[in-house]
Amino acid sequence: MIHPVLLCGGSGTRLWPLSRKSFPKQFTRLIGEESLFQASARRLSGEGFAAPLVITGSDYRFIVTEQLQAAGVDPGTVLIEPEGRNTAPAVLAAALHLAQTDPSALMLVAPSDHVVPDAAAFRAAVRAGETAARAGRIVTFGIRPTRAETGYGWLELTGPAADGVPVDLARFVEKPKRDAAEAMLASGNFLWNAGIFLFTAGTMIDAFATHAPGLLPPVRAAVDAARPDLGFLRLEETAWKGAEAISIDYAVMERAGNLVAVPFGAGWSDLGGWDAVATEMAADARGNALGGNAVAIDCDNTLLRAEDGDVELVGIGLKDIIAIATGDAVLVADRSRAQDVKRAVEVLQAKGAKQAEAFPRDHRPWGWFETLALSDRFQVKRIVVKPGAALSLQSHMHRSEHWIVVNGTARVTVDDSVHLVTENQSVYIPLGAKHRMENPGKVPMVLIEVQTGAYLGEDDIIRYEDIYSRGQGAKG
């Protein structure tokens, strides 16, 4: 049995404005009708695979379980990182957790934001590396290069190898300059480093003991003191913060001598930039890739995506341009500068723009809300509550609220009063009142909320009861 370990904590800044910290690229539908995370979970499921172990942050825990359920994949353990510490502590935590019950557990570690069109071919490549992994080797899956890519790390093999045939790994190569990438492409003995690994839990723990022993005490303490939280397992915060933030490549892989590579040539992309997304999309005769309500007039080699159903995006006479429009932000860039999009996020963060990290639509375990209008002393929101879901019992110190139900029925608590509010009815929530809304029905409940007050921030909330066991703060 292979235990998939899905790394699910990145923010994907190179795909801004569609990928943001509040809802990063692995959860979005960039290619196809399901998210990258859902596609990854489905690809690593079925015969021979255990339920996935997911490592993610607290803000994403309910998104993870909701998307797995929608994809028809039963989740295994969901480990919650108190904060991001890069991939090495995450992988070690997964290995230590699995080793508690089976030190020989076979782990397949994979990012959750890659595209692999041929899932069956990838599973066959995994099976090809299984014998070596069970024998104590660390198996990495290298991608057959199709171009002299400078944005990826590379793997040098000890000799030529056919797809699916394991071969010893000579060395890791950092992201190369153009001339070096062209030479590696021509040699035939190099692969792209996909960051996907297969090994036993015991093998990886031994590798950390040899090459990164300083990580073992804090990560082991964080795993040993992890506490259940609903269906999740929270790593202990203080010990976790003592772990060095370092990638698995730097901590272990580039130092280990027991690595073997399995070449894979059936198609792969890490969607590391909008140029990569354009390559994976269908294009017209002039090389234009279009998404949503986008129209190209006399354009060439251009990516146009309108990510909001109310936005029409029209390009005229463009060449080698990326244009991405959401409801609150627009990106326009030369296609050759796709890797620089992360700089836009840095600039927006520096000026305090909320678009740097947050979307107008904010996902919560009970549903979602979005701001329709915002001024100094009022805010208008649309709130959608899933069937059977409930917001926390809460109060606010700085605002009162008016709720108008526009679809479905809400069960509303205001202090000691509990009553049903149906479509076209409204209720007033005075400042300081304890209140809660629930959806007792079988269809999503939609209401319009009008807030008035001196401060309208999401952190103006005191929770008294919460079925999702969140703490205080904007999201808990």
Residues pairing with 437 in the sheet = 412
239, 313, 424 from 20: Cα distances, Å: 28, 21, 35
Task: Sketch out the chain's domains with CATH numbers.
Answer: 2-264 (3.90.550.10), 281-338 (no CATH), 361-465 (2.60.120.10)
Within 8 A by CB and 6+ apart from 472, the residues are: 461, 462, 463
d(Cα 193, Cα 154) in Å, to the nearest integer? Answer: 5
Q: So what's the pLDDT on residue 73? A: 92
Nearest to 212 by CA among 95, 100, 78: 95
3-state SS, the chain, equals: CEEEEEEECCCCHHHCCCCECCECHHHCCCCCCCCHHHHHHHHCCCCCECCCEEEEEHHHHHHHHHHHHHHCCCCCCEEEECCCCCHHHHHHHHHHHHHCCCCCCEEEEEECCCECCCHHHHHHHHHHHHHHHHCCCEEEEEECCCCCCCCCCEEEECCCCCCCCCEEEEEEECCCCHHHHHHHHHHCCEEEEEEEEEEEHHHHHHHHHHHCHHHHHHHHHHHHCCEEECCEEECCHHHHHCCCCCCHHHHHHCCCCCEEEEEECCCCECCCCHHHHHHHCCECCCCCEEECCEEEECCECCEEEECCCCCCEEEECCECEEEEECCCCEEEEEHHHHHHHHHHHHHHHHCCCHHHCCCCEEEECCEEEEEEEECCCEEEEEEEECCCCECCEEECCCEEEEEEEEECCEEEEECCEEEEECCCCEEEECCCCCEEEECCCCCCEEEEEEEEECCCCCCCCEEEECCCCCCCCCCC
pLDDT, averaged per 10 consecutive residues of the chain (476 residues), comes to 92 91 92 93 93 94 93 91 95 97 96 93 94 96 92 90 89 90 90 96 97 97 94 95 95 93 93 92 96 96 94 97 96 94 95 92 92 92 96 94 96 95 95 95 96 90 90 65
Give the span between the Cα atoms of 45 and 167, in whole angstroms. 26
Burial class (CB in 10 A: 0-12, 13-18, 19+), 441: middle
Q: What does the alpha-carbon distance between residue 295 and residue 288 come to, in Å, rounded to a whole number?
A: 10
pLDDT for res 474:
61
Cα dist from 212 to 92, 252, 446, whole Å: 10, 7, 51
pLDDT at 230: 85
Q: Determine the pLDDT at residue 475.
A: 61
The pLDDT assigned to 458 comes to 85
Q: Pairing relation of β-strands 259-264 and 138-143?
A: parallel
Q: Are 372 and 380 in contact (CB under 8 A)?
A: yes
**For residues 453 and 399, is the Cβ–Cβ distance under 8 A?**
yes
CB 92, CB 204: distance < 8 Å? yes
Residue 162's pLDDT is what? 87
Instruction: Report the distance separating Cα 256 and Cα 21, nearest Å.
Output: 33
193 within 8 A of 153, measured Cβ to Cβ: yes
Q: In the numeric block, which tokens belong to residue 173?
A: 């190569």
